[in-house]
Amino acid sequence: MINKKSISNKKFEIAVIGLGYVGLPLAIEFSKKYKVIGFDIKQKRIQELSDSFDVTSEVSTRKLKLAKYLKYTDNVNEIKDCTIYIIAIPTPINSQNKPNLKPLKNASKLIGKVLKKNDIVIYESTVFPGATEEICVPILERNSGLKYNKEFFCGYSPERINPGDKKHKITSIKKVTSGSNKQTAIKVDKLYRNIITAGTHLAPSIKVAEAAKIIENTQRDVNIALINEFTKIFNKLKIDTNSVLEAAETKWNFLSFKPGLVGGHCIGVDPYYLAHKAKQIGLNPKMIISGRETNDSMSSFVVKRVIEAMSKKSIRSKNANILIMGLTFKENCPDIRNTKIIDLIRGFENLHMKVDVYDPLANKDEVFEEYKLRLIDHPIRNKYDTILIAVNHNKFRQMQFNNLLKFCKKKNVIYDLKNTFPKSHAVIKL
């Protein structure tokens, strides 16, 4: 329950910059203890949230309505009286797999224009070690006219949200915190401790906190790459990868990772940030780059396997109809950022196959805006030579296999990329 009196007595307000998968849940939780202004440059997003609707499905309508001490705006003048600014802006990569820091720089510039003496700016965006103080701080200084660690201060607390995960929510995930000096670090840590029930870990510096975050996803990426490499080997040896993993997992210290496409805004991106910084300081991060290359190659590997399976059944790939079930980068989540399913689609289209994509969770307008792709409303009966199950949505898992077959021609290939259906069914698995 919100204590109205304690909130009204607070001397400061928090501004959360960026109201996506990270920023919105954060703003909601802080608004239970403080007066919070959520800022986003997208007018449509502000209007949706004002109407208690979250297109990301991370926050329910009920929770949005209960957040009485949270205000939404796209007007920078409305956040100028805040004293704590939390920046939760995406940090994507460009077409050359290099860090695209433009959104983060723009956000820093915006905050710099309203920054006042003794204000604290906390970054949550995933970056390479040193980015906050080497790139963001100078922008804050230039646009505010204030001196870092004398007239304003910074913190870094990396986001650890897992989109679509209904069990591990923001308050139940331990938070790493840091500050630009000892006093600020303590303030930042106390701030997050007020909302994070799982507790906090105070890192000794901003650089350490940045590095801790970026190696979390890099480690996962490298491990998945190893499993993907195993998969390619076992495919040549005509051994079922999942059967191998099930056997290996019987040992207590075997690390359980699954093969597949590695996309999304974190695992498929963060290693490139660390590799970029490593190259800047004269190092060649061979393992990181090799892992990324292996994982990025999986789309073409899957396309090749599908075509081989079609050939064995005498199904011509040219002008064949294929249904791809799922577009989001992970199951039970509407997030389409950096989804590797797009690489599959383009791969099949380059082979002159006719591709239908069905995903009931993805927003059709966002998909078209981002990828110029039109999703179908529903699969068509008796149309498809091949069905590829690309994302393990609950809706797909609950589908009866016989109902899936209704969409196929008599002679067909079903490729189950995510082990949605049991082994007993006549499907090809990764």
Contacts of 70 (CB under 8 A, 6+ apart): 27, 28, 31, 36, 37, 38
For residue 356, what are the contacts with CB-CB under 8 A and spacing of at least 6?
321, 322, 323, 324, 376, 379, 380, 383, 384
| Last residue of one domain, picked from the residues 180, 213, 246 | 213
User: Would you say residue 221 lies in a domain?
Assistant: no
Average pLDDT over every residue of 14-27: 96
Please check whether residue 151 lies inside any domain of the structure: yes
Q: Looking at the structure, tell me whether residues 155 and 234 fall in a common domain.
A: no
Final residue of a domain: which of 213, 238, 265?
213
Of the pLDDT bands very low, low, confident and very high (cuts 50, 70, 90), residue 6 is very low
Same domain, 318 and 391: yes
For the packed helices 206-236 and 298-312, what is the interaxial angle rounded to 10 degrees?
A: 20
Inter-CA distances, 159 with 24, 45, 195, 274, 280, Å = 12, 20, 14, 17, 25
- pLDDT higher than threshold 80 for residue 21: yes
Q: Are residues 197 and 262 in the same domain?
A: no
| 46 inside domain | yes
Domain of 97, CATH number, reads 3.40.50.720
List phi, psi (to 5°) of 187: -60, -45
Instruction: Look at residue 220 and tell me if it is in a domain.
Output: no
Residue 38: φ, ψ to 5°: -95, 125
Tell which of 213, 238, 271 closes a domain.
Answer: 213
Name 77's Cβ contacts closer than 8 Å, sequence gap at least 6.
114
Number of domains in the chain: 2
Asked whether residue 282 carries a pLDDT value surpassing 80, the answer given is yes
Per-residue model confidence as pLDDT tens digits over 136-173? 999 999 999 999 999 999 999 999 887 776 777 899 99
pLDDT at residue 162, as a whole number: 77
Residue at 219 is within a domain: no
Q: Is residue 27 part of a domain?
A: yes
Residues 369-398 have a mean pLDDT of 95
Model confidence at 208: pLDDT above 50: yes
User: According to the model, what pLDDT value does residue 5 have?
Assistant: 42
Q: Is residue 318 part of a domain?
A: yes
Q: What percent of the chain has pLDDT over 70?
A: 97
Residues 53-67, mean pLDDT to the nearest whole number: 92
% of the chain exceeding 90 in pLDDT: 87
Residues 235, 208 share a domain: no
Nearest to 130, CA basis, from 268, 274, 270, 265: 274
Instruction: Give me the mean pLDDT over the 78-97 stretch.
Output: 95
Summarised one tens digit per residue, pLDDT across range 100-121 is 999 999 999 999 999 999 999 9
Place of tokens 């505010």: 144
pLDDT band at 129 (very low <50, low <70, confident <90, very high): very high
Is there a single domain that holds both residue 300 and residue 355?
yes
Q: Please, which pLDDT band fits residue 3 given cuts at 50, 70 and 90?
A: very low
pLDDT at res. 1: 33
pLDDT of residue 169: 81
- Residue 301 in this model has a pLDDT that exceeds 70: yes
Cβ(361)–Cβ(393) under 8 Å? Answer: yes
Mean pLDDT of the chain: 93
Stretch 318-330: mean pLDDT, rounded? 96
Does residue 175 sit in the same domain as residue 266? no
Across 28-32, 209-213, 330-334, 344-348, least confident range: 330-334
Q: What is the pLDDT of residue 8?
A: 45
Domain range spanning residue 91?
4-213
Residue 253: pLDDT above 70?
A: yes
Low-confidence winner among 161-170, 190-199, 304-313, 397-406 (lowest mean pLDDT): 161-170
Same domain? For 176 and 94 the reply is: yes
The CA-to-CA distance between both ends of the chain, in Å, stands at 48
What pLDDT score was predicted for residue 80?
A: 94
If asked whether residues 358 and 410 sit together in one domain, one would say yes
Total residues found in the chain within this entry: 430
Same domain, 105 and 129: yes
What is the rounded distance in angstroms from the CA atom of residue 40 to the CA atom of residue 70?
13
> What pLDDT is recorded for position 421?
86
Q: Is the pLDDT of residue 275 over 90?
A: yes
Structure-block tokens of residue 151: 């007239």
Give the pLDDT confidence score for residue 105 in this predicted structure. 98
Catalytic residue among 154, 266, 333, 408: 266
Q: Which helix (H) or strand (E) holds 72?
A: strand 70-73
In contact, 123 and 21? CB cutoff 8 Å: no
The answer on pLDDT for 10 being more than 70 is no
Answer whether residue 190 is part of any domain.
Answer: yes
**243 and 205 inside one domain:** no
Say if residue 118 is in the same domain as residue 49.
yes
Contact between 178 and 155 under an 8 Å Cβ cutoff? The reply is yes
Q: Are 53 and 140 in the same domain?
A: yes
pLDDT at 12: 54
pTM of the model: 0.91
Our answer to whether residue 266 is catalytic in this structure is yes
**For every residue of 149-185, which 3-state class applies, written as one string?**
CCCEEEEECCCCCCCCCCCCCHHHCCEEECECCHHHH
